[in-house]
């Protein structure tokens, strides 16, 4: 590790020097600690400068903010923030009170040894301005663990003191390519049941950070191996070992994990050049994958689809949870055939409860609900000749989310087969997805035309009261409009009047 390779900019160095003098003038110690020291040792840019002092942290922070021309923000009882803006760039100093009687005692209370290293703030400033060496305060030998790319807890009670650290362990392993020390792995498994004692929003943020980068399935398996995944989502417990019909290579639990990997695989494929897509073993004889590739880029240009959103944390959660309704709908008939009748509908309330427990936003909960409820629809459409009416109803129900649902359906199929060869059903799935995308991306105004008549006018002209019947008539007009049977407001009124008479005669 060559510390000299990273050099803060001149303005940041000036702020560090002035901050060090500020604490010295008040006869208080100040140490750079935690992630700041870790990143410096890894020669990575330091974004937030974490400082510990044995003085009145909030008071010293307020005074420092005034001295530096920045502003002060109280983060929580343990930290205050000073933010200084310069030429459009923010420098952040997080100032916390020392825990314990010494800096060594403070470091021993931290999460992992790689974050339990400190350096006197003044010596850091001198090092970067004059090249003077600085001494590490490293009672737990975190620098050695960092060199060895090893993640080790600072104490036996580290996870008990803050259960969220168990998820942070996975994030640190991912971010810095660390291996988990054996005793730390044992403590992780031992303390896994404590995880839900952490604040839901903090769990949400860490879980999303774990899921966002590629390779999420590997990290989900790690969580599962240490008891963390089913602590977060106990609804997955009965899915483990639950057999599925013969086309499925995996049980319900493994299929759920593999669907996340399949989604990432599809997303990566669609972001390659068309020639690479054409050479994929997933391509059909009709070049459906290449056509879908082109269509998705058109959708992105239209602002109705984003490749980044396809592998976002909430969509990966939707992939993980898409079959969450299977355990509660599992049946075996007299000849031994396995069924999961209506599992999408049964899965919706379960998925909603999970997302609420994970403190997901309303938007994320809605997206997961749509994918769980409708992930079977594209496959069901692929089994028969797809009508224009079916396509229209699909996008009336889902809007642009229908694109993500159709892609999830493809990932679902790949996650079903696993290492087994694809069947004749795969080209049908691709052809259906291509047709859905073509209609919505290139022919949206035809399949979803603007209304010819508004609800108020319809009720006035037909003398009907507000209620479900109004919506049914409007939907009937829209379908006729999409099919080219209605072209004007007068046509719409005549058709609605005729349909109303029929509805009244049947009631």
* CA–CA gap between residue 208 and residue 355 (Å, rounded): 12
Q: What value does the mean pLDDT take over residues 307-332? A: 97
Look at residue 1 and tell me whether its pLDDT is greater than 60.
Answer: no
Instruction: Specify the pLDDT at position 408.
Output: 97
Nearest to 447 by CA among 478, 473, 472, 485: 478
Instruction: Specify the pLDDT at position 3.
Output: 43
Beta-carbon contacts of 364 under 8 Å, excluding residues fewer than 6 positions away, are 314, 317, 355
For residue 120, give the H/E element and its range: strand 118-120
Instruction: Specify the pLDDT at position 354.
Output: 98
In 10 A of CB 241, how many CB atoms? 9
Helix, strand, coil % over all residues of the chain, rounded to 5 = 60, 10, 30
Residue scoring higher pLDDT (384 or 121) = 121
Place of tokens 């191996």: 225
Q: What value does the mean pLDDT take over residues 70-74? A: 92
Nearest to 272 by CA among 288, 290, 245, 247: 290
pLDDT per residue as tens digits for the range 194-222: 999 999 999 999 999 999 999 999 999 99
Token output for 335: 């000849």
CATH fold, domain 154-232, is Hydrophobic Seed Protein (1.10.110)
Residue scoring higher pLDDT (1 or 463) = 463
Q: pLDDT-derived band of residue 5, with 50, 70 and 90 as boundaries? A: low
Give the C-alpha distances (Å, rounded to integers) separating 209 from 202, 365, 408, 478.
11, 17, 21, 43
Nearest to 378 by CA among 346, 426, 330, 328: 426
Instruction: Specify the pLDDT at position 476.
Output: 83
Q: Where are the domains of the chain?
A: 3-148, 154-232, 239-447, 455-506
Residue-averaged pLDDT of the chain: 93
Residue scoring higher pLDDT (209 or 447) = 209
Look at residue 4 and tell me whether its pLDDT is greater than 70.
Answer: no
Instruction: Specify the pLDDT at position 2.
Output: 45
* CA–CA gap between residue 22 and residue 16 (Å, rounded): 10
Q: For residue 293, how far is the Cα from the chain centroid? A: 23
CATH fold, domain 3-148, is Beta Polymerase; domain 2 (3.30.460)
Q: What value does the mean pLDDT take over residues 222-235? A: 98
pLDDT per residue as tens digits for the range 58-68: 999 999 999 99
Look at residue 241 and tell me whether its pLDDT is greater than 80.
Answer: yes
Q: pLDDT-derived band of residue 493, with 50, 70 and 90 as boundaries? A: confident
Q: What value does the mean pLDDT take over residues 36-65? A: 93
Instruction: Specify the pLDDT at position 472.
Output: 86
Q: Is the pTM of this model over 0.85?
A: yes
């Amino acid at each position: 590790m060559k510390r000299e390779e990273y050099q803060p900019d001149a303005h940041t160095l000036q702020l560090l020097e002035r901050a060090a003098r500020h604490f010295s003038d008040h006869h208080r110690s100040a140490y750079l600690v935690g992630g700041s020291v870790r990143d410096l040792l890894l020669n990575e840019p330091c974004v937030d400068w974490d400082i510990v002092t044995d003085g009145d942290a909030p008071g010293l922070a307020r005074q420092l903010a005034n001295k530096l021309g920045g502003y002060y923000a109280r983060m929580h009882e343990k930290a205050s923030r000073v933010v200084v803006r310069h030429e459009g760039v923010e420098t952040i100093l997080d100032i916390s009170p020392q825990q314990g009687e010494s800096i060594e005692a403070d470091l021993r209370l931290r999460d992992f040894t790689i974050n339990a290293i400190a350096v006197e703030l003044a010596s850091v400033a001198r090092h970067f301005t004059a090249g003077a060496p600085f001494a590490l305060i490293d009672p737990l030998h975190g620098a050695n663990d960092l060199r060895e790319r090893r993640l080790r807890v600072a104490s036996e009670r580290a996870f008990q003191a803050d259960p969220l650290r168990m998820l942070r362990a996975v994030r640190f392993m991912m971010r810095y390519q660390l291996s988990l020390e054996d005793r730390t792995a044992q403590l992780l498994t031992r303390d896994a049941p404590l995880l839900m004692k952490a604040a839901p929003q903090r769990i949400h943020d860490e879980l999303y950070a774990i899921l966002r980068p590629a390779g999420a399935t590997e990290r989900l398996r790690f969580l599962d191996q240490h008891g963390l995944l089913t602590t977060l989502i106990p609804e997955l417990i009965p899915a483990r070992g639950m057999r599925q019909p013969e086309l499925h290579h995996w049980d319900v639990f493994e299929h759920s994990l593999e669907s996340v990997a399949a989604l990432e695989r599809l997303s990566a494929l669609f972001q390659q050049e068309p020639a690479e897509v054409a050479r994929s073993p997933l391509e059909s004889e009709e070049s459906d994958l290449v056509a879908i590739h082109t269509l998705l880029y058109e959708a992105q240009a239209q602002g109705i689809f984003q490749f980044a959103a396809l592998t976002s944390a909430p969509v990966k959660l939707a992939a993980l949870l898409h079959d969450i309704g299977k355990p509660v709908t599992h049946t075996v008939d007299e000849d031994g055939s396995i069924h999961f009748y209506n599992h999408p509908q049964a899965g919706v309330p379960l998925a909603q409860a999970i997302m609420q427990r994970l403190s997901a936003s309303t938007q994320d909960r809605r997206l997961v609900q749509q994918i769980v409820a409708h992930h079977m629809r594209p496959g069901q459409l692929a089994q028969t000749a797809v009508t224009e009416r079916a396509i229209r109803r699909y996008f009336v129900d889902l809007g642009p989310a229908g694109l993500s649902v159709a892609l999830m359906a493809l990932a679902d199929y790949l996650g079903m087969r696993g290492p087994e060869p694809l069947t004749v059903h795969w080209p049908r799935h691709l052809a259906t997805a291509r047709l859905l995308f073509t209609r919505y991306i290139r022919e949206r105004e035809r399949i979803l035309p603007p209304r010819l008549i508004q609800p108020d006018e319809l009720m006035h002209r037909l003398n009907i009261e507000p209620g479900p019947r109004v919506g049914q008539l409007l939907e009937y007009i829209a379908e006729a409009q999409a099919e080219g049977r209605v072209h004007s407001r007068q046509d719409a009124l005549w058709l609605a009047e005729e349909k109303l008479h029929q509805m009244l005669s049947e009631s």
